[in-house]
Amino acid sequence: MIAATLPLPPSANHLFANVPGQGRIKSREYRAWTVEAGYVLNLAAVAKRINGPFRVRLQAGSPNRLRDRDNVVKPVLDLLQAHGAIRNDRDCQKIEAEWVEGVTGVYVSIHETVAVPLMDGKKPPEPKPYRKSSEAHRSARKLKQASAAVSPRPSLSQRETRR
């Protein structure tokens, strides 16, 4: 397990900036937070790394309740990966995020988990074919009958008599 209390990251709306000629880049605010939070994380995660599936719990104190909880998740997971605490944020199996009174910043705890194989190694069942609604089915049948009445296909016996 790795645990640390990081400073509160900037809102997800302020992580990147559009710069003419350069495209989207990390904002000054996001870069400054990454440096500060990186120092704290490096002290907490010395010689610890989770190399596989994990779950993470984020408990954040928010000075501004207008902000969404999920705005805290992305920058924290990106920081954990950039500083080597986790191998890749794709390995995250579960995320818990909550507002907590009395917390300054974000308390992060990361726990190694066991990957659960899908269906015990079996292939998932094939999806059932789409079944038309009865009304659509009736409409399709009427259309087919109408087109057959307009230009009927000659039967085999009719084709032989035409020769």
pLDDT digits (tens, 9 = 90+) for 138-147: 666 776 676 6
Domains of the chain: residue spans and CATH: 2-115 (3.30.1330.70)
> Looking at the DSSP assignment, which residues form a beta bridge with residue 109?
3, 57
Parallel/antiparallel/unpaired status of strands 2-6 and 106-112: antiparallel
- Going by C-alpha positions, the residue among 54, 38, 43, 41 that lies closest to residue 87 is 54
Contact 151, 89 (CB under 8 A): no
pLDDT digits (tens, 9 = 90+) for 118-135: 555 666 666 666 555 566
Q: Looking at residues 76-102, what average pLDDT do you find?
A: 92
Contact 89, 77 (CB under 8 A): yes
